[in-house]
Amino acid sequence: MRNFLSKHCTHINDEGLVALARRCPDLRKVQLQGCRNIQDEGVVRLAESCPQLEYLCVSNCSHLTDACLLALSQNCPRLNTLECASVSQFTDTGFQVGSVSLEKNTLSKNHQPLYSPFTGPCPKLPAAGADGP
């Protein structure tokens, strides 16, 4: 399996995501929008087990932190799209320290995209923004 789509499913948690990653290491596209029971452990294991990952949507997965960004940058060199609207615990620092190398990145505040110049170590990332305090 190369694609996994699950939107707003409250039954998916870290245990399920870890099992998916272990059994499907060739995943390329994963859509987890609104799966609010997913935390860092699941996304970190997904990143570690699925190095071919190109697209990940974790919008509205509010328990995720910068630890996910670090794992994605270290393990998923083909990742070119990360949709993370309304993930308020992701920070600009997390994107810089994690050196996430993305062509497109979506962050939002109140469901409105935010974009700001980004000059960190991510040459493929033309613009990024994060929810402010």
DSSP string, 63-97: T--HHHHHHHHHH-TT--EEE-TT-TT--HHHHHH
Q: Judge residue 8's burial from the number of C-beta atoms within 10 Å of its C-beta, 0-12 exposed, 13-18 middle, 19 or more buried.
A: exposed
The whole-angstrom distance between residue 4's C-alpha and the CA centroid of its chain comes to: 14
φ, ψ for residue 15 (rounded to 5)? -60, -45
pLDDT digits (tens, 9 = 90+) for 69-87: 999 989 998 988 888 888 8
Predicted confidence at residue 108, as pLDDT, reads 40
Nearest Cα to 30, choosing from 123, 113, 18? Answer: 18
Higher pLDDT, 91 or 106: 91
φ, ψ for residue 5 (rounded to 5)? -120, 120
Domain count for the chain, please give it.
1
Q: Is residue 87 part of a domain?
A: yes
Q: Is residue 25 part of a domain?
A: yes
Predicted confidence at residue 97, as pLDDT, reads 66
CATH number of the structural domain spanning residue 26: 3.80.10.10
3-5 and 55-57 beta bridge pairing: unpaired
Domain limits at 111? 3-128
What are the beta bridge partners of residue 107?
none
116-117 and 127-128 beta bridge pairing: antiparallel
Q: Is residue 133 part of a domain?
A: no
pTM of the model: 0.75
